[in-house]
Amino acid sequence: MKVAVIIPAYNAGGTLEILLAEATRYVNLNDIIVVNDGSSDATSAIMGKFPVRSLSHVANCGKGRALRSGFEKVLSWGYDAVITLDADGQHDPKYIPELIDLSREGHYDIVVGSRRNYFGRMSFARFLSNNITTVVVSLLAGRKIEDSQCGYRLIRREVLEAVDLETDGYQMESELLIKAGRRGFSIGHIPIDIRSSATSHIRHLSDTVKFMNLALRALWL
């Protein structure tokens, strides 16, 4: 299975270099695509230090749009699957082989990193948000989802070719699970831990509102 790694990066100058160095232990640099989503810091300069494939947005368009740009390129380059990895250092690349192995052996179309063992260490607000959104996504997708908000996942090209993604922000990751589940694609999980990050760009209130809008629209699909 030919697998690409997509890293959407927005002002990730403080974490991207270490992440790329770690990722090369598990995947070739030529199979890594970094999408610079309108960064104003050293992100572009760091990308230039590594012979990775790169895409750039002139302005910040949102994580969902950055991933969608990466998906389009991955499909055109003939990859069989993509692994999405956050640029802020929360996701340890050591799980890349496990994602690939479970997809192969379990015949899963999507494999999602599950932070269920980490939920107890989250703030109450974040714990509540993650649990509520995960329950809602599971109901709308018709599939048991353990952690709908985790962006560390493997997605086969068949899913990307079949699912029409429309949203630009963090809610796109929920949109993908809902639409893929409804189309009958299988979804598996691997337990992961995450590392702390001081550079997360999630805006809990506004992103929760956007998620609820997505969920309400999905009820009528």
Report the range out of 90-104, 113-127, 137-151, 200-214 with the highest average pLDDT. 90-104
Sequence ranges of the domains in the chain: 3-218
Alpha helices in the chain (DSSP H): 16-23, 43-47, 63-76, 96-106, 124-141, 157-162, 171-182, 204-218
Whole-number pLDDT of residue 133: 86
pLDDT for 206 beyond 80: no
The set of residues, in sequence order, having a beta carbon less than 8 Å from that of 184 and lying 6+ positions away, is none
Cα–Cα distance for residue pair 106/211, rounded to 1 Å:
30
**How many residues does this entry show for the chain?**
221
Domain at 3-218: CATH architecture: Alpha-Beta Complex (3.90)
pLDDT for 190 beyond 90: yes
Cα–Cα distance for residue pair 93/210, rounded to 1 Å:
29
Among 12-16, 154-158, 164-168, the minimum mean pLDDT is found in: 164-168
Whole-number pLDDT of residue 116: 73
CB 174 within 8 A of CB 212: no
The mean per-residue pLDDT over the stretch 171-188 comes to: 95
Cα–Cα distance for residue pair 214/14, rounded to 1 Å:
32
The mean per-residue pLDDT over the stretch 9-27 comes to: 96
Instruction: Tell me the per-residue pLDDT of 96-110, one tens digit each, with 9 for 90 and over.
Output: 999 999 999 999 999
CB 160 within 8 A of CB 71: yes
